[in-house]
Amino acid sequence: MREDKKRFIIVAGVYGAGKTTFIKEVLQPYFQNQVIYLLPDEKIAASGFESGIPAFHYQVIEPMIRHHILLGDSLVYETTLTSLLDRITMPGDQIGLNDYLDQMPSDIRRLELAIKQHYDETILFYLSLGTPELHASFVKERSVTQGTPQIEMRYIQNRFRKSHRNLKRAIKLVDHVYLIDNSKKTFSLFCKLEKQQIVYSKKPPVIFTEILNNFTHIDFSKSDRLLELLLTRSNKKM
């Protein structure tokens, strides 16, 4: 793909949803060197910080993201879509868990800054694991295969709920949204939205019904190579 558009791209989803794998297997072959890939796992070793702590994100990742936004660089980064701002925007939610992901910088604020910088396209890929219970099984599997820590169910439910609630807010800000089911590790596209309107939808997971009911369906004939790529990939793995 060779275009000169400025793109601000977020790959979001709860822990274990496959964000880094999606970037490496799908986005890097597609966008190639047209965007900067900001992957935390590749930055943590050189930073001197421990993985996952808020200080790493505030002192390393956040300045890098804001720097690239202010320069107008095309950028891809990954996030859970949970942040410190949730304490203000979700006052009824439980906040006594001491969950480090509740302390992260706000992706909504980053999006708002990118919009002010007049990016040609803002794009959100959201990877879903279907339910908190399935998410928990993924976390357990990763703990066994990769030696990562187990996560209590109450933290999983907290992150799942807040990530989905922030997804509704993010959809209202970005130009293009691709909702992808990775519960079977296949990156299966089930919905595409353009400027808050649904242009493609096929059997969305039940948990997304309430989110998508807020948006209207329209007929869409415009060519979208990325949509076609994701659909082709989904069909091959069915």
Alpha-carbon span 105 to 128, nearest angstrom: 21
Helix axis angle for 153-171 and 107-116, nearest 10°, is: 20
Q: How confident is the model at residue 162 (pLDDT cuts 50, 70, 90)?
A: confident
Choose the weakest-confidence range: 11-20, 183-192, 226-235: 226-235
pTM, rounded to two decimals: 0.89
Q: Phi first, then psi: what are they for 70, rounded to 5°?
A: -65, -25
Q: Residue 89: which residues within 8 A CB-CB, separation 6 or more? A: 166, 169
Per-residue pLDDT tens over the stretch 129-150: 988 888 888 888 877 887 777 7
Per-residue pLDDT tens over the stretch 3-27: 689 999 999 998 889 999 999 999 9
Residue 2: inside a domain: no
- Domain carrying residue 168: 7-236
Residue 162: inside a domain: yes
- What CATH number has the domain bearing residue 140? 3.40.50.300
Q: Residue 141: which residues within 8 A CB-CB, separation 6 or more? A: none
Alpha-carbon span 36 to 75, nearest angstrom: 5
Give the SS3 label for residue 115: helix
Q: Looking at the 3D structure of the chain, how many domains does it have? A: 1
Residue 40: inside a domain: yes
| pLDDT attached to residue 221 | 59
Contact status, residue 43 vs residue 156, Cβ threshold 8 Å? no
Residue 1: inside a domain: no
